[in-house]
A and B are shown apart, each in its own frame.
Chain A
Amino acid sequence: MSMAEGDLAVAEMAFVRRATIAPRRPPAAMTGPIAWLRANLLSTPFNIALTVLIMLLLAWAIPEILRFLVIDAVWSGNDRDACLWTVQHREIGACWPFVWERLPYFIYGSYPIPQRWRVDVFFLMLAVGVVWLLWLKAPRRDLGAIYFFIVLPVVSYILLTGWSAIGLEPVDTVLWGGVLVTIVVASVGIVFSLPLGIILALGRRSRMPVVRTLSVIFIEFVRGVPLITVLFMAGVMLPLFVPEQYSPDKLVRALVGIAIFASAYMAEVVRAGLQAIPRGQYEGAMAVGLGYAQMMRLVVLPQALTVTIPNIVNTYIGLFKDTTLVFIVGIFDLLRTIEVARIDPKWATPVTSTTGYAVAAIFYVVFCYGMSRYARAMEMRLAKGGRR
Chain B
Amino acid sequence: MTADENSGSLLKPGRLRTETAVELIELNKWYGDFHVLRDINLKVRGGERIVICGPSGSGKSTMIRCINRLEEHQGGQIFVDGVEVTADLKKIDEIRREVGMVFQHFNLFPHLTVLENCTLAPIWVRKMPKSEAEEVALHYLTRVKIPEQANKYPGQLSGGQQQRVAIARALCMNPKIMLFDEPTSALDPEMVKEVLETMVALAHDGMTMLVVTHEMGFARQVANRIVFMDEGQIVEANVPEEFFAHPQHERTKLFLSQILR
Q: A-side interface residues toward B, CB under 8 Å?
A: 280-281, 283-291, 294, 298-299, 302-303, 306, 382, 385-388
Given known A386-B155, A387-B155, contact A290–B107 (CB-CB < 8 A): no
Given known A288-B125, A289-B97, A298-B124, contact A280–B107 (CB-CB < 8 A): yes
Contact with A along B181-210 (1 / 0, CB 8 A): 000000000000000000000000000000
Interface residues of B in 32-82 (CB under 8 A from A): 68, 70
Interface residues of B in 97-130 (CB under 8 A from A): 97, 99-101, 103, 105-111, 120-121, 124-125
Would A388 and B110 count as touching, CB distance under 8 A?
yes
B81 to chain A, nearest CB (A): 14
Would you call B169 an interface residue if the criterion is a C-beta within 8 Å of the partner chain's C-beta atoms?
Answer: yes
- The distance in angstroms between the C-alpha atoms of A281 and B111, with both chains bound, is 11
The residue that A288 contacts in the complex, of B105, B120, B154, with Cβ under 8 A, is B120
Contacts of A387 in B (CB 8 A): 110-111, 153-155
Would A306 and B96 count as touching, CB distance under 8 A?
no
The residue that B153 contacts in the complex, of A294, A302, A386, with Cβ under 8 A, is A386
A140 to chain B, nearest CB (A): 17
The residue that A283 contacts in the complex, of B103, B110, B154, with Cβ under 8 A, is B103
Would A286 and B170 count as touching, CB distance under 8 A?
no
Interface residues of B in 124-170 (CB under 8 A from A): 124-125, 152-156, 169-170
Would B156 and A385 count as touching, CB distance under 8 A?
yes
Would A287 and B101 count as touching, CB distance under 8 A?
yes
Would B108 and A284 count as touching, CB distance under 8 A?
yes
The residue that B170 contacts in the complex, of A288, A298, A386, A388, with Cβ under 8 A, is A288
- The distance in angstroms between the C-alpha atoms of A283 and B93, with both chains bound, is 13
The residue that B107 contacts in the complex, of A283, A303, A386, with Cβ under 8 A, is A283
A225 to chain B, nearest CB (A): 36
Would A286 and B155 count as touching, CB distance under 8 A?
no
Would B153 and A280 count as touching, CB distance under 8 A?
no
Contacts of B125 in A (CB 8 A): 288-291, 294
Would B96 and A287 count as touching, CB distance under 8 A?
yes
Contacts of A290 in B (CB 8 A): 120-121, 124-125
The residue that B93 contacts in the complex, of A285, A289, A299, A382, with Cβ under 8 A, is A289
Would you call B173 an interface residue if the criterion is a C-beta within 8 Å of the partner chain's C-beta atoms?
Answer: yes
A88 to chain B, nearest CB (A): 66
Which residue of chain A lies nearest to B89 when distances are taken between CB atoms in the complex? A291
Contacts of B155 in A (CB 8 A): 385-388
The residue that B173 contacts in the complex, of A286, A288, A298, A299, with Cβ under 8 A, is A288
B175 to chain A, nearest CB (A): 9
Q: How many A-B residue pairs have CB under 8 A?
A: 74
B25 to chain A, nearest CB (A): 23
Most chain B Cβ neighbours within 10 Å, of A280, A281, A284, A299: A284
Would A287 and B100 count as touching, CB distance under 8 A?
yes
Given known A287-B68, A287-B70, A385-B155, contact A303–B111 (CB-CB < 8 A): yes
Would B96 and A299 count as touching, CB distance under 8 A?
no
- The distance in angstroms between the C-alpha atoms of A385 and B149, with both chains bound, is 13
Would A298 and B120 count as touching, CB distance under 8 A?
yes
- The distance in angstroms between the C-alpha atoms of A306 and B121, with both chains bound, is 22
A304 to chain B, nearest CB (A): 10
Which residue of chain B lies nearest to A280 when distances are taken between CB atoms in the complex? B107
Name 15 interchain pairs, CB-CB below 8 A, sorted by A.
A285-B109, A287-B101, A288-B121, A288-B125, A289-B125, A290-B121, A290-B125, A291-B93, A299-B120, A303-B109, A306-B111, A386-B153, A386-B156, A388-B110, A388-B155
Contacts of B99 in A (CB 8 A): 287
Contacts of B103 in A (CB 8 A): 280, 283-284, 287
Assuming A286-B68, A385-B152, what are 18 further A-B pairs, CB within 8 angstroms? Answer: A283-B107, A284-B106, A284-B108, A285-B109, A287-B96, A288-B169, A289-B93, A289-B121, A289-B125, A289-B173, A290-B120, A298-B120, A298-B124, A299-B109, A302-B111, A303-B110, A385-B156, A388-B155
Given known A288-B120, A288-B125, contact A281–B97 (CB-CB < 8 A): no
- The distance in angstroms between the C-alpha atoms of A299 and B106, with both chains bound, is 15
Which residue of chain A lies nearest to B109 when distances are taken between CB atoms in the complex? A299
Given known A386-B155, A388-B155, contact A284–B93 (CB-CB < 8 A): no
- The distance in angstroms between the C-alpha atoms of A298 and B156, with both chains bound, is 21
B29 to chain A, nearest CB (A): 17
Which residue of chain A lies nearest to B92 when distances are taken between CB atoms in the complex? A286
Contacts of B106 in A (CB 8 A): 280, 284
Which residue of chain B lies nearest to A293 when distances are taken between CB atoms in the complex? B124
Contacts of B170 in A (CB 8 A): 287-288
Given known A288-B125, A386-B153, contact A280–B169 (CB-CB < 8 A): no
- The distance in angstroms between the C-alpha atoms of A385 and B155, with both chains bound, is 8
Which residue of chain A lies nearest to B70 when distances are taken between CB atoms in the complex? A283
A197 to chain B, nearest CB (A): 20
Contacts of B68 in A (CB 8 A): 286-287
Contacts of B70 in A (CB 8 A): 283, 286-287
- The distance in angstroms between the C-alpha atoms of A299 and B125, with both chains bound, is 14
A216 to chain B, nearest CB (A): 24
